[in-house]
Structure 1
Amino acid sequence: MPVLISGVLKDGTGTPVQNCTIQLKACRTSTTVIVNTVASENPDEAGRYSMDVESGQYSVILLVEGFPPSHAGIITVYEDSQPGTLNDFLMAPGESDLSPEIVRQLEELAKAARDSANAAVGSATASAASAEDAAKSAGAAGGEAGAAKVSADASAESAAASASSAAIAGEEAKAAKVSETNAKSSEATAAQSASVAEEAKTAAASSASAALTGAGQAAASAMAAEKSAESASSSAATATNGATEAARQAVAAKTSETNAKSSETAAASSASSAASSASSALASKDEATRQTLAAAGSAATASTRATEAADSAAASVDSAADAAKSASDAGNAAAEAQKYRDEAKEFADHLDVKDASTFQKGIVQLSNATDSDSEEEAATPKAIKALAEQYQNMITGAVVPAGIPFPWPTDTPQTGWAIMQGQTFDKTKYPQLAIAYPSGVIPDMRGWTIKGKPASGRAVLSQELDGIKSHTHTASTKAADLGTKATTSFDYGSKQTGSFDYGNKSTNTTGGHAHPLGVNNASGQRNPDALSGNATMVNTTLYTGQAGDHAHTVYIGAHDHWVGIGAHTHNLVIGAHGHAVSVDATGNAENTVRNIVFNYIVRLA
């Protein structure tokens, strides 16, 4: 069954905490809750909250916008826990607050209390049954008393008949008178017995009521005994008193039985006297005989009822004995519980609990103060939480000053941080960040890296675009002699030259010349170049005179020539040489090194 946890969240000054989410994270699996499941509650503007919480153990986490999550503590909700505030459950002592020895002692006491409770419940049940049996016995005794009263009435009638017979019979009248007297005496005795039986019935009813009351008290005590050994002892004592009362009522029932037997005896005596009177008056009146027989029958019936009452009383005694045994068992259980209680008390007494100090163990006073110098008070979880938050902020501010860029591996910064993407911020709200960035603008670090400031030439937070350091390159090709290469063959056919008029041209005057003349010599030789016959000439050479030196004027008109260019090839010589080389552009769009992308974030403060 859920337990209501409600109240108002307040800080150390009593101001309601706003924009705070309460989370309950299950620490273990219970009958209704699965471990690690989270339930949330959002208090209103006044800090009020209300939660119906299932039984189990929970870790309490407070989420305030702009601050990291805060662990408030561990609470344990039981099925029988009383409604309360979150503070009540956080301040309640848990298992970790007790030493192992105390936990062991408490577990033993709880077990003993449960055993005592079970014994008390059994005792109460037996007491109730015993009381019921006593009530039945009392009812039976009342019935027997009624039967005895009927017998007495019959005896009275018999006495009246005997008196009539005495009046008629004369001498027999004295006997009838005696019978009447005896009958009246029997009637009085029977009436007295009936009165005693009625009182016994009333007492038995009272006993039954008291026993039932005691049984109810014992049952209630048994329920309480599970939580307290002392309550178990009280319930056992109550059960013992109930059993004692039942035993006393059983004794009363026994007394009633004895009285009933006396009534039976008296009735039997009366019947005997009536029978004698009837015998004496038989001659006088048959009616007296009939009444006597009726009285005898009534006496027999009364005797039978008395026997049954005795049996019922015996059963009542047995029930009383059982009740006494149950009471004894309950008393033993109570004594055992008392023993454990005494041991627990002795253990507590031996603890010698004193006020704790720096030099001895003991009990300390809890305090919510966060600025106390006391050495006799202990801080509550609330005070520790406040100090933890205070010093966490101080430590964070000292270790991580506002303004420092930090690499962050996700696109979602943690609470109190922002991604550096060139946005403006409220310098009043974040004064520490304003010291680092007086312009009120957070640098845009997307795609940028951080560079240490050089000795000169750069200002803090200044930007530098892409660039590479100026440098030169040398380039050359490897020398190679390609040798002589032949061109391919190609027939160009006949080609006509262009037309051109060369005009008149004159030859030079170097045409003068002489002709040799050969003659036969004396030896008969002849010169075939000069002689046509075989004339004998002197052996000499004759020459004609030199003449004929002249020039010619030649006309060369406009003309062209057809030149035949047949199929042919050319040989080309490609010697060792060099070439000019151009280098194409290459690389990325910007200068980079091997990298992994992170978001730069900055703390807001």
Structure 2
Amino acid sequence: MATKYLALLTNIGAAKLAKATALGTKVEITQLAVGDGNGVLPTPNPAQTALVHELRRAPLNMLTVDPANASQIIAEQVIPEDVGGWWIREIGLFDKDGDMVAIANCAETYKPQLQEGSGRVQVIRVILIVSSTEAVTLKIDPAVVLATRQYVHSQLRAHEQSRNHPDASTTEKGLVQLSSSVTSDSESQAATSKAVKIAMDNGSARLAKDRNLSDLPNTALARQNLELGDSSTRNVGTTAGTVASGDDARITGAMQKSQNGGDIPDVAKFLQNLGLGEGSALPVGVPVPWPSATPPTGWLKCNGSAFTASQYPKLAQAYPALRLPDLRGEFIRGWDDGRGVDSGRSLLSSQTGMLEKHRHIIVANEGYDAAEEWDIGVIVKSSYVQGRGIDAAAPGTLIASPTLHTKGRIGNTGGTETRPRNIAFNYIVRAA
């Protein structure tokens, strides 16, 4: 049986395809037209430049290489249901220049339109065998074509197998990557069941807010860890075993911080109970003899050392020069304060040693001999009276009694200073 329906390149199409193959360019097929052949099924003629009777021309829906045959190009167009009212007997493919590059006929098909009471989406498909499919541009404009179900299914399959999908975000839908991390703060990943289970297990180990700590497994250990002690379990009251309230005598009878010790009823007893002794009541700055080389806490040695007002503000009031008196090896003398015994002195001023003026009377029975060695010095010489003695009945009265004269030598006696008997103490001063 002779072939009745066929598709072939027109002479123009064959020439353009050959040129494109030789030059490495492409033939861009863009449109497909259908006609009714003026009521007669036409036989395709390569010399044709147009259809016998064209009824509709529109962009291609699809132009692909046949996956089963690499030498075949499949051109497809979808005619919607609201277009028709005529027969389809001939098909033509046109390039971007408007030239018909391929022609075909098909089994006579009536394309109804909806006004006739029936509608059908018509798919027109042309398969061309070419020498080189690389010389044909396989491109369509998806904005102006209709897709067949097969095309949609193929595109969906390709989409499913690809990774070219929009990522989901907190503001846009899309695909999202799964994650089992329970520490991530990512907003572009979704938690897996494993992550949810870990979070739930962690939550089960936490205290529930609405349980008000009733889900504590060991309340005694919890109180111990919080260092609350036994008082946290006792009620407020005034009896034994209770916690004192604000008006409880155990609180109102306590010392108040703002009183600075002024509310102590018996200061002496208070100091005695603290083991401080009466000396602790001395004001800051008063020197006290201490029987040890190390002063107690809060006291400083009177050794002439400097101090700062920021460290000892009260001590600075007693010693504005910010230096302690040096009482090492010194006696303390009362300030004259206008009495006239030791006038001209200022507080904390030092005074050198002095020997009060006095007389020594030396009596010799042979008279003063200038050749003898008299080490008593000028005082002895000026007090010496030749041929005189001392009246025993009236001390201090010189009498003429040569028989009382004696002869002798007087030498230096004594130590390096004049001092009374004493006991050494370490002078200290309250610093705060």
TM-score, length of structure 1 as denominator length? 0.22
Q: TM-score normalized by structure 2?
A: 0.30
Q: Higher strand proportion, which one? A: 2
Q: Which has the higher helix share?
A: 1
- Greater Rg, structure 1 or structure 2? 1
